[in-house]
A = this chain, B = another copy of it.
């Protein structure tokens, strides 16, 4: 008899029978988030190109496209492969890359999908342009402008012009517009402060657009924005396209921000865990530690809020989550099933091979996280 790991869950299963740790999606909350963003983008007449780095699952990308998304973003070339294989036709790599292996991946992808990529150095453009021209494919290049984050992107008009000129030198490349994203302000707590910061980023972006227009270069696409600033970005009149990713899940960190505008999100991503040890009253240990939840943006919190008031996740070891009893029964916790809201959705999803989608008390779907671990 061969040894086969049992599947994590199957449609129709009772939710409380799903083996833990498991990554769950509350489909009602998820669909609320999807619909709200789709409606918001449509009303503001900006294209919605959700970022697939948050979820890494073709099934979710298809759900976004079915509600009107124009395509998806990926952050890495390898990440785009399973989406291309699943029939996603338009993929924007919102990031820079260099090296022969990366150029080969871009050219291969461009043979299958409408591909756009970013660049912030003429050396990136030169390598890609030579390969794309030789292969007979066409890749849109969007120079990235630094609008305040100080990470990637050029910040001078001269450097931007040099990139536009470099792109024009290659038959296999075309100028696609601008990438402008300020990751550093997405998680600013206060809503008015976030609005001001997003306004400054939009102003910086607009200045680059005007500079190119003065040179006779029109930006067909101006793409950027994340979940934290998307309501301001969409209304700015600067961006033609928005790139939010985390909105589908609304993790603990994003959920803790002030949301004083019209957008109201719901937590849809949870980790199901089990208390597998309670050796003494007042504390307990669950089976979800560092390998089951990312803690870079804070520890997970129990769900629903009433249980979080009683039990706190206080530390993550590799395979153990430490819990402290704040109120309620200090004994008899062994075997209790918990729902945890992760601090940060992107790296948490990257730990799992499947999402278990549920509605009410039943499993409705199991979705492969096909791009998990694809970071090249």
Residues of A within 8 A of B (CB): 1-3, 5-6, 8, 17, 19-22, 53, 75-76, 78, 81, 84-85, 95-102, 104-105, 108-109, 111-112, 120-121, 123-124, 146, 150-155, 159, 183, 274, 276-280, 283, 285, 287-288, 290-292, 294-296, 316-320, 322, 334-335, 344, 346-347, 350-353, 372-376
Do A155 and B104 touch across chains, with their CB atoms under 8 A apart? Answer: no
Query: How many Å lie between the Cα of A111 and that of B1 in the bound state?
Result: 9
Q: Nearest chain-B residue to A373 (Cβ)?
A: B353
Query: How many Å lie between the Cα of A124 and that of B21 in the bound state?
Result: 18
Q: Can you name 17 A-B residue pairings with CB atoms under 8 Å? A: A2-B85, A3-B85, A3-B112, A5-B105, A6-B104, A6-B105, A21-B376, A22-B376, A76-B319, A97-B287, A99-B335, A124-B334, A150-B283, A287-B375, A287-B376, A291-B347, A351-B375
CB distance from A142 to the nearest CB of B (A): 14
Q: Nearest chain-B residue to A372 (Cβ)?
A: B373
Query: How many Å lie between the Cα of A317 and that of B347 in the bound state?
Result: 10
Do B278 and A376 touch across chains, with their CB atoms under 8 A apart? Answer: no
Query: How many Å lie between the Cα of A108 and that of B324 in the bound state?
Result: 33
Do B347 and A350 touch across chains, with their CB atoms under 8 A apart? Answer: no
Given A123-B334, A290-B347, A296-B290, A277:B1 Cβ within 8 A: no
CB distance from A298 to the nearest CB of B (A): 12
CB distance from A280 to the nearest CB of B (A): 7
Query: How many Å lie between the Cα of A176 and that of B1 in the bound state?
Result: 26
Query: How many Å lie between the Cα of A95 and that of B100 in the bound state?
Result: 45
Given A3-B81, A5-B81, A276:B318 Cβ within 8 A: no
Do A17 and B78 touch across chains, with their CB atoms under 8 A apart? Answer: no
Partner of A296, one of B19, B183, B316: B316
Chain B residues contacting A99 (CB-CB under 8 Å) are 19-20, 274, 276, 335
Chain B residues contacting A84 (CB-CB under 8 Å) are 3
Q: Nearest chain-B residue to A374 (Cβ)?
A: B5
Given A84-B3, A294-B290, A373-B352, A320:B151 Cβ within 8 A: yes
Do A350 and B279 touch across chains, with their CB atoms under 8 A apart? Answer: no
Chain B residues contacting A291 (CB-CB under 8 Å) are 346-347, 350, 373, 375
Query: How many Å lie between the Cα of A150 and that of B152 in the bound state?
Result: 45
